[in-house]
Amino acid sequence: MKAPIRVAVTGAAGNIGYCLLWRIASGDCFGHDQPIILQLLEITPVLERLQGVIMELEDSAFSLVHDIIGTDDANVAFNDCDAIFLVGSRPRSKDMDRSDLVAANGPIFVGQGKAINANAKKSVRVITVGNPCNTNCLIANANAPEIPNSGFSAMTRLDQNRAGGQLAKKAGVPVATVEDVFVWGNHSNTMYPDVVVGKIGGESVSGRFDSEWIRGEFLTTVATRGKAIIVARGASSAASAASASIDHMRDWWQGSSGRIVSMAIPSEGWYGVPKGLIFSFPCRVSADGVITVVEGLPVDAFAQAKIDANIAELESEKAAVSGLL
Ligand code: NAD
Ligand code: LMR
């Protein structure tokens, strides 16, 4: 039997938390032989609701769950953590952009970055889900100087999954046949879902669909899907976001088996993206959790303009939170 790992989830009593915790507890993320200790963070007024979630987790009798801690203290939640899901924060309403949330949500990631720095394992892997997730990750990363940059990431896997879903629907095939489609840049309307090396059933996506659809309806549908869900459901995506969080962390923990996956990570200057910006790149992850950006992919003028627009947007978001870095 492996030793248990410590997994923290913030905003654990929220909508994403309610889907995410059950997938983590069942072994879908860290493996079906990996025991876990869940360390759940909520704000003080929501602790009673969190207790209800913990009661339900206990009642689910997951064999991999060795302990569950519920707290409103980030120092307790992140103590000795191996993996952290930073979810806790406000979702937007239908009349907002994700970047409009930064004034309300950005400060959360200052305190949580500091608490990660002081309490988590140096090898911790952090996924930032709370929006605007790239810039919130930047804030947490900047406030945790003793944790390697390679331990921080933000989630664009939901956008990749949306792109795969749209391609599969258009082709009339199962989504599992779609490979190596990925997303550049920011989790915002500016993101660029790229099919340059994408395949459906082993054949190139660009050979199958005309570029007018790929660069028009497909791109717009993927980039604005978050808003479309808020309008239709009356609430932010939750189950699909939890599922994408599992995909992201599972591939980071167990490897991406050679597949290209989208992860927003601190840039080392890849593809001309300024060092330190949290930017979604095409990545592969080794079985021992090392993320490698796939370099040398073709970037035509259209793609370069999209990458440049994402750099400009993320630089502007960074400037807006300079006081938090
Ligand atoms: P929700 O309102 O249902 O739940 C959020 C929870 O976070 C609440 O229970 C709240 O009490 C808690 N919280 C607030 N501040 C906190 C803090 N400082 N510490 C700990 N917990 C805190 O929202 P949700 O639907 O679960 O969404 C959470 C976030 O995820 C939102 O910002 C949303 O926009 C974002 N999101 C991101 C993606 C993505 O692809 N990156 C997808 C979906 C949602
Ligand atoms: C999403 O993409 O569904 C989330 O980021 C929620 C949102 O605000 O769009």
User: What integer pLDDT is reported at residue 96 of this predicted model?
Assistant: 93
Q: Does the CB atom of residue 226 touch ligand 2 within 6 A? A: yes
Closest ligand to residue 229's CA: 2
pLDDT tens column, 110-161: 999 999 999 999 999 999 999 999 999 999 999 999 999 999 999 999 999 9
Closest ligand to residue 49's CA: 1
Q: Which two structure tokens, joined as six digits, stand for 275?
A: 């060092």
* Cis previous bond, 132, omega within 30: yes
Percent of the chain topping pLDDT 90: 98
Mutational pocket test of ligand 1: of 9, 15, 16, the residue with most ligand atoms within 8 Å of the beta carbon? 16
Percent of the chain topping pLDDT 70: 100
User: What integer pLDDT is reported at residue 1 of this predicted model?
Assistant: 84
User: What integer pLDDT is reported at residue 292 of this predicted model?
Assistant: 98
Distance from residue 98's CA to the centre of ligand 2 (Å): 7
Q: Does the CB atom of residue 236 touch ligand 2 within 6 A? A: yes
pLDDT, average across residues 20-31: 98
Q: Determine the atom of ligand 2 nearest the C-alpha atom of 101.
A: 8
Q: Closest Cα to atom 31, ligand 1: which residue?
A: 91
Q: Closest Cα to atom 18, ligand 1: which residue?
A: 108
pLDDT tops 90 at residue 223: yes
User: What integer pLDDT is reported at residue 258 of this predicted model?
Assistant: 97
pLDDT tens column, 282-305: 999 999 999 999 999 999 999 999
Is residue 187 part of the annotated active site? The answer reads yes
Q: Determine the atom of ligand 2 nearest the C-alpha atom of 131.
A: 5
Q: Closest Cα to atom 7, ligand 2: which residue?
A: 226
pLDDT tens column, 35-76: 999 999 999 999 999 999 999 999 999 999 999 999 999 999
Distance from residue 94's CA to the centre of ligand 2 (Å): 10
Contact 273, 263 (CB under 8 A): no
Instruction: Report the mean per-residue pLDDT for the chain.
Output: 97
Closest ligand to residue 222's CA: 2
Distance from residue 237's CA to the centre of ligand 2 (Å): 6
Q: Determine the atom of ligand 1 nearest the C-alpha atom of 157.
A: 40
pLDDT tops 90 at residue 167: yes
Contact 16, 49 (CB under 8 A): no
pLDDT tops 90 at residue 80: yes
Distance from residue 161's CA to the centre of ligand 1 (Å): 20
Q: Which two structure tokens, joined as six digits, stand for 269?
A: 């200057």
3-state SS record for the chain: CCCCEEEEEECCCCHHHHHHHHHHHCCCCCCCCCCEEEEEECCHHHHHHHHHHHHHHHHCCCCCEEEEEEECCHHHHCCCCCEEEECCCCCCCCCCCHHHHHHHHHHHHHHHHHHHHHHCCCCCEEEECCCCHHHHHHHHHHCCCCCCHHHEEECCHHHHHHHHHHHHHHHCCCHHHEECCEEEECCCCCCEEECCCCEECCEEHHHHCCHHHHHHHHHHHHHCHHHHHHHHHCCCCCHHHHHHHHHHHHHHHHCCCCCCEEEEEECCCHHHCCCCCEEEEEEEECCCCCEEECCCCCCCHHHHHHHHHHHHHHHHHHHHCHHHC
Q: Closest Cα to atom 5, ligand 2: which residue?
A: 226
